[in-house]
Copies of this chain bind each other. A is one copy, B any other.
Amino acid sequence: MRPNDRKADQVRPIKITRNYTAYAEGSVLVEFGNTKVLCNATVEENVPRWLKGQGKGWVTAEYGMLPRSTHSRMRREAANGKQGGRTMEIQRLIARSLRAVVDLEVMGEIMVTVDCDVIQADGGTRTASISGASVAMADAFQHLIDNGKLKKNPMKGHVAAVSVGLLGQDVLCDLEYVEDSAADTDMNVVMTEDGRMIEVQGTAEGEPFSHEELLSLLESAKKGITEIVAAQKAALEN
């Protein structure tokens, strides 16, 4: 039995709060159960040097965890003097996922940076980050349209992500921390709203997994992402 009587294929309660802070062009607090991530999208009217003069935009992301977002305190990366490998992996993943649903040519020479800062971590922070960042980015583009800086919305659709895992024989959707720690296989799936895949990252922590298990994991992820996309759309309609 899962915590809070969740069913195997059930995602945690999702809450998406827009305009969470006052200054960012898009600001979203996304909650998947106890996992809470603040996603702030910043618009800047210049692009990285290597892209200048090509008439194209860029989307990037940064990720961080507050030191006490976790059960025991983690060292602050700024005090360590560098971002860890896990942080870099995650922020590269978020950025790739966002770019996959954006037409960079339509953007023109504009850069959007989405900062995903984990306020509270109970598993699935990278997938919550992607799901929240998609909404924050949508608000940032709408801001540009409202201000006459963009004529057409460069977003081709939503992007959402979920983690799924194998715990013994069970395929579980949207793992929370205790499940994630115990899982044999953990898979992060990033999809567009039409159900196609942007990223699939499956890792066997214990035993390797079979082709059939992979198919079950993907099926569970697809179902979960459908619910997340619905929550994204509902949030944007408010």
Instruction: List the interface of chain A (C-beta within 8 A of B).
Output: 21-24, 27, 34, 36, 38, 40, 42, 44, 62, 64, 66-73, 76-89, 91-92, 96, 100, 113, 115, 117, 119-120, 187, 191-192, 194, 196-204, 207-211, 214, 218
Given the known A-B contacts A88-B88, A89-B92, are A204 and B208 also in contact in the complex, defined by CB atoms under 8 Å? no
Besides the known contacts A191-B208, A214-B218, 6 further A-B residue pairs in the complex with CB atoms under 8 A apart: A23-B70, A23-B71, A38-B66, A192-B208, A199-B201, A199-B202
6 A-B pairs (CB sep. < 8 Å)? A22-B120, A23-B71, A76-B78, A85-B92, A100-B208, A191-B208
**Given the contacts A78-B78, A208-B198, A62 and B67 also touching, CB distance less than 8 Å:** yes
Complex Cα–Cα for A194 and B209 (A): 11
User: How far apart are A48's CB and chain B's nearest CB, in angstroms?
Assistant: 14
The answer to whether B21 touches A120, judged by C-beta atoms less than 8 angstroms apart, is: yes
CB distance from A224 to the nearest CB of B (A): 15
Which chain B residues lie closer than 8 Å to A21 at the CB level?
36, 68-69, 119-120
Nearest residue, chain B, Cβ from A208: B196
Assembled-state Cα–Cα distance A78/B203 (Å): 27
A96-B203 contact given A68-B23, A89-B88, CB 8 Å threshold: yes
**B residues within 8 A CB of A203?**
96, 198-199
The complex places the Cα of A71 from the Cα of B25 at a distance, in Å, of 10
A113 vs B74: C-alpha distance in the bound complex, in angstroms?
Answer: 11
Instruction: Indicate if the CB atoms of B40 and A68 lie closer than 8 Å.
Output: yes
Could you say which residues of chain B place their CB within 8 Å of the CB of A208? 100, 191-192, 194, 196-198
Report if A76-B115 is in contact (Cβ < 8 Å); known contacts: A70-B23, A88-B85, A208-B100: yes
Taking a contact as CB atoms under 8 Å apart, the answer to whether B85 and A82 are in contact is no
Nearest chain B CB to A101 CB, angstrom units: 9
Query: Is B202 touching A197 in the complex (CB atoms < 8 A)?
Result: yes
